[in-house]
Amino acid sequence: MSQTLSSLARMTLRQLRQVASELGVTLYSRKTKDELVSAIGERQADLSSLEQEHAPSKQADDTRVVFLPRDPQWAYVFWEISERDRQQAFKAGASQLCLRVADVTGMSNGASHPHTLQEVPVDSHATEWYLPVPLSDRDYRVELGYRVSGGGWISLAFSSVARVPALHPSEQILDQFVPFSLDTPPSTITPQTLPSSDNGLHERLYQTATVGTRRLGRGSEAFHELDQSSGAGLNASGAGLWASGRSESGSGVVAPRQRSFWLVADAELIVYGATDPSAKLTIGGEEVPLSSDGTFRVQVPFRDGQQVYAIEAVAADGEQKRNITLDFERSTPEDNSNPSDQAVAEWF
């Protein structure tokens, strides 16, 4: 302590203030040189005692392992093994330090996919390692442990689950919204929501999901399903020649102040998910193609009424099945809309 104070006393006031600032001494700019020497000495003594108190706890830290994907083909793993766990493992007959890499994509409760566990022996004195990744675009977890002579295993710690990035750009197509223009009639607007190769899959799925529940002439269904050529001055939304409440005979009574106005709006339903890439997926009995990673995504009309989508996946060998039924219902409490080609001049 005396040597510390002696070395501090040889410093200039500016140097002492810099040291006090780094140590967190309060009001150091107002203290004299002697006061700074005393305050810094006390602060250093406090920090030294704190380090001594925490030194035993550092030795007793729990063992941990961290899994960090580096790129689609390699991952970086580092770990710490407490002396207590190391000694206990050696007493139990530990012979080889290993890392176990498990594919846990889509699994819960600590489970992993069968036949995907890889065991990598590492140097007993190492604290970090580069691991080759079996498959990209998957979730992995690493287990640190010792292989025991005779075939046993001593588990020390598990890493958090981390996602390894995909090797190639994603095949998922972003939403393509309907182009909207006040100058373009809605009849010429074609929503490009699915590739042309689907051959009307989204419409067939909708028809299957609404068998026995379709109600024509209400809400947005009228906009999609009524024959536009049958319009006779009155459309399903109630807007037409008589919408203003005046007949043609009254047009000469009120000063001519007319204007046509229109509005269209609708919604779509997106059904998406994933299964084994080799499985057969059907929605309402209609087979839906899968992407290379087993994902699927279809956009179907979301019109008034109830829609039920029964989704079933069957394994390639037909021995395993999974299914889920999604039930949706839409209603349009108010619909005072009309397409532009049915807009008529109104008094207002």
Cα(245)–Cα(17) distance, integer angstroms: 87
Predicted local confidence at residue 187, as pLDDT = 46
Predicted local confidence at residue 197, as pLDDT = 44
Side chain identity, residue 237? S
Tokens representing 198 are 């689907």
Cα(246)–Cα(227) distance, integer angstroms: 26
CB atoms within 10 A of CB 103: 21
Three-class SS of residue 44? Answer: helix
Q: Where are the beta strands (DSSP E) in 41-83?
A: 64-69, 74-80
Predicted local confidence at residue 143, as pLDDT = 93
Predicted local confidence at residue 181, as pLDDT = 52
Three-class SS of residue 223? Answer: helix
| pLDDT tens readout for residues 314-347 | 998 888 999 999 999 989 898 888 888 887 877 6
- The DSSP letter of residue 323 is E
- The DSSP letter of residue 338 is B
Tokens representing 68 are 């960090």
Tokens representing 221 are 């269904």
For the chain, state the CA radius of gyration: 36
Three-class SS of residue 191? Answer: coil
- The DSSP letter of residue 72 is S
Predicted local confidence at residue 200, as pLDDT = 75
Cα(165)–Cα(71) distance, integer angstroms: 7
Say what angle helices 13-23 and 33-59 make with each other, to 10 degrees.
Answer: 30
Say what angle helices 2-9 and 33-59 make with each other, to 10 degrees.
Answer: 130
- The CA–CA distances, whole Å, from 304 to 220, 258, 268, 301 equal 6, 33, 11, 10
Predicted local confidence at residue 247, as pLDDT = 43
Predicted local confidence at residue 323, as pLDDT = 94
pTM exceeds 0.75 for this model: no
Given a cut of 50, the residues of the chain with pLDDT beneath it are 1-3, 57-60, 180, 184, 186-197, 214-254
CB atoms within 10 A of CB 89: 20
Predicted local confidence at residue 201, as pLDDT = 78
| pLDDT tens readout for residues 104-161 | 888 777 677 766 788 899 998 889 999 888 888 889 999 999 999 888 899 999 999 9
